[in-house]
Amino acid sequence: MPPERVRKVLKVKNICKTFNPGSINEKCALNRVDLFLEPGDFVTIIGGNGAGKSTLLNIIAGVFPVDRGTIVLDGIAVNNSREHERAKFIGRVFQDPMMGTAASMTIEENLAMALRRGKSRGLRWGITRQEQDFFREHLAQLELGLENRLKAKVGLLSGGQRQALTLLMATIVSPKLLLLDEHSAALDPKTASKVLELTQKIVNGHSLTTLMVTHNMRDALKYGNRTIMMHEGQIILDLAGREKQNTCVEDLLKMFERASGDTIDNDRMLLA
């Protein structure tokens, strides 16, 4: 099939976003960005601080409107739909392990909320035995022993356990699109790589179309089938398939410097 006829899960076309226009704090965060994702694409996003990575994810999720351009999710223009409406189709995990889960609620209550996202049957109906079995089965796949702790308050879990649970909540009903914004960056290296391995397992297991921001070049190359690099609000590099597989961190660094005319401003990006 010629590329233009492959169904796209996401079409981001000619997007511009400037914060605080007309003021001394004016900042063009996205400058004519185009990004098309095919079903099952697992795209890693790399770039220095302030490159526009989080803004790109935020405009897709509907956190704030764009100045120009269109966003089409699974064939439907979503420019005018609000964040909570898009949340029915988009799973998100952020950097902060405290953000994605409700600390005062139990593991099973958190999962039940995720399962009922966008549905009318709320938590007051209770959690059924079948649901508990379903949760145990999914929790066991995390290999963190959480399947035996359904009634534990989430506030008692470690950061890594909470990120793994957030990931499960974001994907327990397969989203059309999964957005991960440096979701392993706040964890210690060992836990971070565990969460990334788990991410890969879940994304591949359900063929989820995914955008994953990482500050780590090695991880950007290791995971996914495509890597894009952002700089000053633009996508300056787009590597996929064999080209991505054949690229090492040193190559990526050279490509970055050539494409941006800049040097890496962020040591974190080089840490392996």
Ligand X SMILES: Nc1ncnc2c1ncn2[C@@H]1O[C@H](COP(=O)(O)OP(=O)(O)O)[C@@H](O)[C@H]1O
Residue nearest Mg ion by beta-carbon distance: 54
Contact by Cβ (8 Å): 41, 225: yes
Q: Does 19 bind ligand X (CB under 6 A)?
A: yes
C-alpha to C-alpha distances, 235 to 33, 111, 118, 128, 129, nearest whole angstrom: 7, 35, 33, 46, 48
CB nearer to ligand X: give 41 or 181: 181
Candidate ranges 46-54, 66-74, 163-171, 232-240; the one touching Mg ion (CB under 5 A): 46-54
Size of the site for Mg ion (CB under 5 A): 2
CA distance 7 to 20: 36
How far out from the chain centre does Cα 83 lie? Answer: 15
Contact by Cβ (8 Å): 264, 270: yes
What are 179's strand-pairing partners? 92, 211
Q: Report the SS3 class of residue 26.
A: coil
Among Mg ion, ligand X, none, the one that 100 touches (CB under a kind-dependent 5 to 8 A) is none
Among Mg ion, ligand X, none, the one that 36 touches (CB under a kind-dependent 5 to 8 A) is none
Helix crossing, 159-171 with 189-205: angle to 10°?
10
Amino acid symbol at 65: P
In whole angstroms, how close is the CB of 219 to ligand X at the nearest point?
A: 16
φ/ψ of 55, rounded to 5, equals -60, -40
Among Mg ion, ligand X, none, the one that 50 touches (CB under a kind-dependent 5 to 8 A) is ligand X
Amino acid symbol at 179: L
Q: Which residue has the tokens 């410097």?
A: 257
CB nearer to ligand X: give 195 or 235: 235
Among Mg ion, ligand X, none, the one that 70 touches (CB under a kind-dependent 5 to 8 A) is none
Q: Does 54 bind Mg ion (CB under 5 A)?
A: yes
Contact by Cβ (8 Å): 270, 214: no
**Segment 23-82, which members bind ligand X (CB under 6 A)?**
27, 29, 47, 49-55
Among ligand X, Mg ion, none, the one that 29 touches (CB under a kind-dependent 5 to 8 A) is ligand X
Q: What angle do CA 138, 143, 148 make, to 5 degrees?
A: 70
In whole angstroms, how close is the CB of 56 to ligand X at the nearest point?
A: 7
Candidate ranges 4-12, 30-38, 54-62, 100-108; the one touching Mg ion (CB under 5 A): 54-62
In whole angstroms, how close is the CB of 31 to ligand X at the nearest point?
A: 11
In whole angstroms, how close is the CB of 125 to ligand X at the nearest point?
A: 37
In whole angstroms, how close is the CB of 57 to ligand X at the nearest point?
A: 8
In whole angstroms, how close is the CB of 266 to ligand X at the nearest point?
A: 9
Q: Does 260 bind Mg ion (CB under 5 A)?
A: no
Closest to 158 measured CA to CA, from 132, 127, 134, 190: 190
CB nearer to ligand X: give 60 or 165: 60
Among ligand X, Mg ion, none, the one that 159 touches (CB under a kind-dependent 5 to 8 A) is none
Amino acid symbol at 70: T
CA distance 50 to 230: 9
In the complex, the residues that contact ligand X under the rule CB under 6 A are 19-20, 27, 29, 47, 49-55
Residues forming the site for Mg ion (CB under 5 A): 53-54
